[in-house]
Structures are given as C-alpha cells and as structure tokens.
Amino acid sequence: MLSQKSIRSNFLIKLSVALAVLLLFFSTILYSYINYRVDGELLASLKKHAKYILATYPDVKKGIEEHGEILKNTLHIEAKILYIPNANYQSSLTRKYQNKGEYFIEYLLPYDFRDQSYLCITSNVTQQKKVQNHVYKSIILISLLGMFIIMLYAYFLSGVLMHPLEILAQKLSKRNENMMEPLRLDELPKEFEPLAGSINALINRIRNFTKYKKELFIGAAHELKTPLAVMKSKNQVTLIKRNPTSESLVEAIRQNITSIDEMNKIVSSILEFGRAEGAQFEPPQTIDVMEFLRTKARDYQILAETSHQNFTFELSPQSYSIYMQPLLLTQILQNLVQNALRFTPKEKLVTLRSHLDDHENLVIEVIDEGSGIDESKDYFAPFIRSRESSGAGLGLFLVNSAADAMGAVVTLANREDGQGSIATVIVPKYPFCSL
C-alpha cells in the first residue's frame, strides 16, 4: 500500500506536469494574440500613411524624394517606389524582416501597373517588439508565480484531504467478514459524510449478503439432514424385523423415495440460486421496461388461466428505458408472480401494477388475494416459508439477491384491506449495474 507521503508526491508531480502544460499552452495563445493585435495595428497605421501620401502628392515619386526626411521625422516611416517584377500586381503585399538586430515591417501598395511598381512604406518596429517580449516574459513570470502558489495550496489541501482518507483506510482495513460494523460519521469531516454514508451502505449490503450466505449453507445442511435421518430410521426399523414382509419393504422404499424427492427439491432450489448468481454477470443493456413487463404479463395471464385464476395488469408509464440486466428482473417477477398465484385461491385475482414515484424510480407491485403473510418473519432469509408453502423456502431469498444485485429494493407486506399481500419492487432510474 502506498504511504500518505508517496501519494501526495505523486499527486504533486502530476499537478506540476499538468500546470506546466497549461502554462505553455495559454502563454503561447496569449503571446500569439498580442502579436496579432499589435501587428494588425501597425499594418493599419501603414495603410493610412500610404493613403495619405497618395492623396497629398500628385507625383508620389517626386514628393517622396523632396519630403522623405519630413515623413521619416514626423510619421517615422520610410517611403519609396519599389519595382517588383513577376509579382501578383492585383493585391497589396506585407513583409516582415530583421536587419542588424532591428525589426521592420513593410506595406507595399500597387502604384504603377505599366512598370509593376509599388509604393513601399517601411516602419521600424523594434521598440514594439521589445515591448511584446517584455509582456511575454511578464506573462511567464506571473504564471510561474501563480503555479508556485497553486502548488503550495495543493500541498496543503492534499494534506487536509489525505488525513481523513487515511482514517477511512485504517478503519476499513480492520474490517473482515466477522466484523462489519459501519463507520462512525462523527469522526470524519462533514465533507466526507456522503462518502462514508455510501461505504456504510455497501458494508450493510455485504453484511446482509454474508449473513444470508451463512444461513443458506447452514439451512441447506439442516434441511438435507432431516430427510436423511428419516431414511436412516425407516431402513433401520425395517432391518430390525426378523422377517420383514413385502409390504413393509415397499413402504420403506416409498418413504425413501419421498425423502429423496424432498432432498432433490432442496438441491434444485440451491442450483436455482447458483443460476441466479450467474445471472448477475449478464451484460447489462438498455431496455424498455414497460414493453418488457407487458410481454411478461401476457405470459402470466396464460399461466393463471391454466390454474383457473384471474390475472390482470395495470402498467404505466407507456415507455420507460433503463440500462439493466433483464434476466435479474425476470427472476424477480417470476418468483413473485408464482408465489402470488400459489397462495391465491381459484377464481381470485392477482394484479401486476407499475408506476413512477416522486424520484422517477419505477415501482412494480404484485398484488394477490390470498391469506396474507406473517409480517414478523423475514421471508427473504433462506429456508423461511409460510405454513401453506410446500417449497424449499428459497424463492424470496433469490428475489432479494437479484434485487440487491441490480440496485433495486423489494418489500413484502399485507394489503391495507386485509384481502391478501402485496410485493413491491422499486427499480431505481440509474441501477448499480449501469455504473
């Protein structure tokens, strides 16, 4: 594990490189912009001078020869008529050059088409270039100073931020499957409370997952032990008899088959849980959940008709897309609807309903008209079942595991009118699988 000092050093190195690149980038842009503006102003000034000479002297060549010194002393320019063969005579020209450490800019304006001569206005811009260089150096100096101040602030800030993170790391490193206590928020700065809250939520999920997994293994061993004990006892009683009749042997075999069927049911449920765990690795995809629910609802209607029950669905909104794993939602719906049909008498009604809550999460409800549930029991724990159930008691455990994997929340409660139970699944707009 990297120490706090090495982490801060790496952070500062990366910050220094990033700041140096930004400094070079913005300094170059700013210097280029200043040069562009200054050169534009100088060129505009030369154009004005050229127009002034053309408007002032009827014979420009003679006027330049007679008043060249005046132009140089007053306007700080040198004017002359320049012959340039093979030039694009239809447009003006601009040239920059350096001579003996001084900088010059020339503006050439077409003067006489017959001999392809130009009016050439030259200005010494050495002083302006020096100012530009001073400005550029000042920009670099100020940027370096700013970078140094930012580095100091970043060093101080990284220390402030790393201390509570180090506390979090130490507290998390001491936790294992036997000690999953949540973090105390009062020991951390308020800025880290959302992070600690998310970690506590994750710890709670891991704790429940570990708890249910242990209960699954212990419960599976207990559930398998009972039919094995019955088989052993029945076989021992049959063997104790000196002359066992064929009827007693047949009865013992039948009892063994019944026990084997019970064990096979438990093993099948455990395998189903394994397949449900594998469904969590299904690649997520964007689906229209409402179209998905309508397709499933029509299948459940056919299933209800075969058992002489009524099934209806009331689904809204019309369309709602979520990036999720469809197989997980299928497992949740299948178990909840099958449970509702199993405990609802014939000719009674099972309803699948959906709507959006205030946070735009999708709420799916499976409502039955059965005898209700014992709300004091945790039906989401493995091998917990009602008295009327003939299953292994893993159905709702699978539902809870699938819901937890996709970031959904599932609850089970009695209806307010006392006419059955209602299972509710809240699917968030942005499930965990989309992260």
Kindly state whether residues 13 and 60 are assigned to the same domain.
yes
Instruction: Give the span between the Cα atoms of 354 and 369, in whole angstroms.
Output: 18
Helix/strand/coil percentages in the chain, nearest 5: 60, 15, 25
Helix (H) or strand (E) holding 255: helix 246-279
Q: Is residue 18 a part of any domain in this protein? A: yes
| 13 burial level (CB within 10 Å; 0-12, 13-18, 19+) | exposed
pLDDT of residue 416: 86
Domain's final residue, options 244, 279, 314 = 279
Q: Is residue 170 a part of any domain in this protein? A: no
Domain's final residue, options 232, 252, 279 = 279
Kindly state whether residues 249 and 333 are assigned to the same domain.
no
**φ, ψ at 87 (rounded to 5°):** -95, 160
Kindly state whether residues 256 and 195 are assigned to the same domain.
yes
Over 60: is that where the pLDDT of 3 sits?
Answer: no
Kindly state whether residues 103 and 40 are assigned to the same domain.
yes
Instruction: Give the span between the Cα atoms of 415 and 368, in whole angstroms.
Output: 9
pLDDT of residue 294: 93
Q: Is residue 369 a part of any domain in this protein? A: yes
Over 90: is that where the pLDDT of 353 sits?
Answer: yes
| 323 burial level (CB within 10 Å; 0-12, 13-18, 19+) | middle
Instruction: Give the span between the Cα atoms of 433 and 280, in whole angstroms.
Output: 9
Kindly state whether residues 268 and 209 are assigned to the same domain.
yes
Kindly state whether residues 206 and 303 are assigned to the same domain.
no
Q: Higher-confidence residue: 193 or 327?
A: 327
Residue-wise pLDDT tens digits, 115-128 = 778 888 999 988 88
Side chain identity at residue 430, one-letter code = Y
Over 50: is that where the pLDDT of 434 sits?
Answer: no
Side chain identity at residue 275, one-letter code = R
pTM score, two decimals? 0.49
Q: Is residue 190 a part of any domain in this protein? A: yes
- List all residues 6 or more positions away from 202 whose beta carbon is below 8 Å from its beta carbon: none
Q: Is residue 156 a part of any domain in this protein? A: no
Kindly state whether residues 402 and 316 are assigned to the same domain.
yes
Residue-wise pLDDT tens digits, 235-248 = 777 777 767 777 77
Q: Is residue 411 a part of any domain in this protein? A: yes
* Token pair of 178 as six digits: 């036997």
Strand partners, 41: none
Query: Of 404, 434, 385, 410, which is closest to residue 333 (Cα–Cα)?
Result: 410
Counted domains in the chain: 3
Query: Which range has the worst mean pLDDT, 46-50, 273-277, 403-407?
Result: 273-277
**Domain ranges, residue 183:** 175-279
Contact (Cβ atoms closer than 8 angstroms) between residue 104 and residue 125: yes
Kindly state whether residues 393 and 348 are assigned to the same domain.
yes
Instruction: Say which residue the tokens 């017959």 belong to.
Output: 114
